[in-house]
Structure 1
């Protein structure tokens, strides 16, 4: 791998410069002639030329290995075979497969323990297993069915909701069960809990179907049924996203467990992180082990399951800026579990600095003290896309052209992140590079499915573009290019 002293090869300020085979051969001939003091034949069939060509080929392979090793040490240029080892130097790992999970409302007898083998099935055939043995209980419930066996003058009826709402009524002459139910329902504020009368029972339902509340009824009630949100995890990994109230079949029947339903949004799983996704995340992930920095908060949040986009804003001034309090920060996050998000913000956020947001969560710090944490969710802007393709007759279009193009658009759009405009022309490159047989293509975008444009859709601060296969249409012109 020897080179002339006046030639810059190897690692240079401009990057790695590899000596090519013709340059190696020329360099070897020059050095050989300099050593022997006379010119030699450079014809390919001469003995000297054959010997030096063999040496040059070996040297060329060493140069190629050196170049590969150089680029393999950068996450931005490393290939699939080396990037995992490269990012490990910065304590960053490729995200593995993740399983969808959600909080299934399990209805049954108060105090019934659901064992570890409980399983439910969705209308699509996907199965979900309980994350750990859990209990159907009034201490963690979103639905309670109560019954009054009889009403006697002077009997007191009531209940406490989430330790804050207290409802009570003392029966008077002429009251019946329906009258007592009605008096109690009139006292429920209606923001967190609501109630109704169904089949002679009083049914209480919490608005939040993901995190259970507490219901404490008086002994004058019989507790007929309780619905508790319990974590279930998909049997298969990947982006499974069941529709609400479609996971209702119980595969493992037990006395005491009467019904089940997924009544809150799932935390969608994912496939193994691709090399492209890993590169995009790497720049932020290197700050994950730091603390009290915007980058460290963002990196830690991006590591949470189902989180696909995070933006952190700071207000260092003494004034209110964009709704943020002086000397505070704001996290806007898409995806993820509220409790995990709040816990991470508390752990990674700067001490004594307020957080901002419309979502309030209470978490326990390392000293056992309850702390309030605030953050925001972005406004989702649905994007509608129309694609028209003209065939290039010298190549073959894929049979599943429509779904292939839709998948590419969804993948590209999902990588935009918050506050990033949707530029129609930027979808052309990924489609052309991955789909053969396209001679010409037109793409237009819309945010209301009414007015389409071939330019761009602005996405503001606190907004995120969302893409759905049902909002993408792909048409093919029969006339080829």
Structure 2
């Protein structure tokens, strides 16, 4: 019986449902039947024979080639791509995988109005140096908020009020502090995290400005997490948002860049609300105050009830169970 080499049915195929291929055992069984057609049904092709091992090698080669084809096919989609392929795929959405980041912190600088701080640095109580932006100008009220980057990579923590030393004294610059704790550095963005952000990024040109602002904030360098709220009613809502306002809570990222992003994507006439306010100019140079908030740690408490079984001896019981079990 002649073999039809056009219909072996062993290769990966693409249909409307996607790509598929036979498994290894199906390939091996099919090749075994073909060999028996050639050499006879009594041909010995068990795994302990040379011919059987040869058939198995051919089947494994076809199986490996099919798996490679499936991987290549899947790597064309952000939903199933991974690694370098996923990094390349998201470029079509105008975003890039976030690399490992250093810790950042919002600093409140005080001094003489108009003072320019060039390449300034500060130190925390552990003598870790934090770098200010290349140029920072103290505002008319004698203060300015700027985001500093830790000189050391990795998760370097700085609790609130621990960055108070000016490392590069500048005339007119009198003090520095961090009202809130630093946002610790993060490792490189994982595939799962990048897929989520890719989904958010396609909302930037969406039909509603709210999704546009949300997607734009997600793509700011250094932002590790964020949450956006809006109040489209004519009165203050349950979250304390004023009428017709939006409120962004952003962890990480430069305060100026965050303010510019919100300003450039929010709807006209929409007020911004938050505890951090930054003045950014429009393209005509007119100043606009943009407000948002940084997250704050909230203590979590738990109540544990311990029940002593009747069989426990009285001398084994503890007058202070929480203390006995180290729960204080």
Range of TM-score over shorter length: 0.5 to 0.7
Match of 2:94 in 1: 91
* 2:109 pairs with one of 102, 105, 110: 105
- Kindly indicate whether residue 194 of structure 2 is the aligned counterpart of residue 278 of structure 1: yes
Could you say if the C-alpha distance between residues 91 and 140 of structure 1 is closer, same or farther in structure 2, counting changes exceeding 3 Å?
same
Tell me how far apart the structure 2 counterparts of residues 82 and 94 of structure 1 sit (CA, whole Å): 11
Match of 2:142 in 1: 141
Contact 2:229/2:248 (8 A) holds in 1:
yes
Match of 1:58 in 2: 61
Contact 2:110/2:142 (8 A) holds in 1:
no
Q: What do you get for the CA RMSD once the two structures are aligned?
A: 4.4
Taking the TM superposition and a 5 Å limit, the aligned residue runs for 1:73-472 are: 73-80=76-83, 82-99=85-102, 100-105=104-109, 114-116=117-119, 118-134=120-136, 139=140, 141-142=142-143, 211=144, 232-252=148-168, 256=171, 260-265=175-180, 268-275=183-190, 276-288=192-204, 292-304=208-220, 305-306=222-223, 308-313=225-230, 315=232, 322=237, 330-335=246-251, 339-350=256-267, 352=268, 354-355=270-271, 357=273, 363-370=280-287, 377=293, 382=298, 384=300, 449=301, 451=303
Contact 1:241/1:268 (8 A) holds in 2:
yes
Tell me how far apart the structure 2 counterparts of residues 114 and 294 of structure 1 sit (CA, whole Å): 36
**Offset from partner CA, 1:357-409 (integer Å, 9 cap, x none):** 4667664333445556566x48867253xxxxxxxxxxxxxxxxxxxxxxxxx
Contact 1:291/1:348 (8 A) holds in 2:
no
Give aligned pairs, total.
295
Q: Which has the higher contact order (CA 8 A, sep 6+)?
A: 1
Other structure's SS at 1:343 match: helix
Compute the displacement of 1:298 (Å): 1.0
Contact 1:103/1:231 (8 A) holds in 2:
yes
Give the strand-richer structure, 1 or 2. Answer: 1
**Offset from partner CA, 1:77-111 (integer Å, 9 cap, x none):** 4444543233334333111233414335355x777
**Offset from partner CA, 1:191-241 (integer Å, 9 cap, x none):** xxxxxxxxxxxxxxxxxxxx3xxxxxxxxxxxxxxxxx6664321234434
Give the helix-richer structure, 1 or 2. Answer: 2
**Offset from partner CA, 1:47-69 (integer Å, 9 cap, x none):** 65444333222211101212322
Tell me how far apart the structure 1 counterparts of residues 195 and 91 of structure 2 sit (CA, whole Å): 13
Contact 2:204/2:215 (8 A) holds in 1:
yes
Compute the displacement of 1:319 (Å): 7.6
Tell me how far apart the structure 1 counterparts of residues 296 and 148 of structure 2 sit (CA, whole Å): 26
Other structure's SS at 2:41 match: coil
Match of 1:39 in 2: 41
Match of 2:308 in 1: none
Could you say if the C-alpha distance between residues 303 and 239 of structure 1 is closer, same or farther in structure 2, counting changes exceeding 3 Å?
farther
Other structure's SS at 1:382 match: coil
Contact 2:93/2:198 (8 A) holds in 1:
no
For structure 2, the 5+ residue unaligned runs are 306-324
- Normalising by structure 1, what TM-score? 0.49
Other structure's SS at 2:93 match: coil
**Offset from partner CA, 1:279-298 (integer Å, 9 cap, x none):** 33332133346675433221
**Offset from partner CA, 1:15-45 (integer Å, 9 cap, x none):** 54342222112222334556x4953525235
